[in-house]
Amino acid sequence: MPLPTAPESRLLDLELLDLSDRPVCGRDVLVLQQWFGLTQTEMCYLLGLSVPKWNHYLNHPDAPLNDPTVALLVWLLATCPETRFLPRFPEPAEVLPLYLETARQSTKRLGAIRKTKLGKTAFGLLVGREVTSANRWLAEHQTRLPSPQVYRLLFVLRNVLWAHGVSGFDAWVERVELEAAARGLTLSSRMTSWSRMRPGGDPPPGRERRRSGPAKPAEPAPA
């Protein structure tokens, strides 16, 4: 896996992280978190901090860190950000082409009767969100970013598709079908989210829809 790249300096005034002639202080932990774009949980994991220790640093922004190991770790991450060992989670737009290419090779379909191809619309459902999620994520001006959980699922899903291809994709869809059924839902074109199905009457799985034959001639009206 390639090393994560350094954050874009335009996101933050890097003079705030100039540690060349001063000790690492509490505020530097928060600045580093903002620079890396991490949540509090991720930052605590990165530095090996408990929540009380994190809060202690935030409550003493101008005091040198009371743990020299953490101070040295913050200095090294700020000086050499490429050493950050947390993965860079991919954006939906980075995973979607691989998903679509694998879906085209799979025999899996959206629903047992209508058998709609798995495309961009189903992408949101297959990562545990809504059918409209993919359009929001792929919009030029994103109105709402994916949740941290979705970012992690995309990271793992991409690796599964790289490593296992169609077999990994099929296993993933089957798992989605199982999780949906456990919630009283059916993975089909009628499923709009993980809490709602569009009204309609899809035939139950395993029962073929009757094909409409030629119209029967009308019977003569009684005299």
pLDDT tens-place string over residues 199-215: 765 544 444 444 444 54
User: For 141-181, what is each residue's pLDDT tens digit?
Assistant: 877 889 989 999 999 999 999 999 999 999 999 999 999 99
Q: What is the pTM of this model?
A: 0.72
At residue 12, the pLDDT reads 46
Break the chain into its structural domains and give their ranges.
9-83, 92-197
Question: Cα separation of 204 and 17, whole Å?
Answer: 61
Token pair belonging to 153: 């699922």
Q: pLDDT below 50 — which residues of the chain?
A: 1-12, 203-213, 215, 218, 220-223
At residue 145, the pLDDT reads 87
At residue 204, the pLDDT reads 46
Q: How many residues does the chain have?
A: 223
Question: Cα separation of 98 and 119, whole Å?
Answer: 11
At residue 177, the pLDDT reads 93
At residue 82, the pLDDT reads 85
At residue 80, the pLDDT reads 87
At residue 19, the pLDDT reads 87
At residue 84, the pLDDT reads 84
Question: Cα separation of 36 and 6, whole Å?
Answer: 8
Cα torsion 56, 61, 66, 69: sign: positive
Give the Cβ contact number of residue 161 at 10 Å.
Answer: 19
Q: Supply the DSSP symbol for 32.
A: H
At residue 14, the pLDDT reads 52
Beta strands in the chain (DSSP E): 109-110, 116-117, 191-193, 196-197
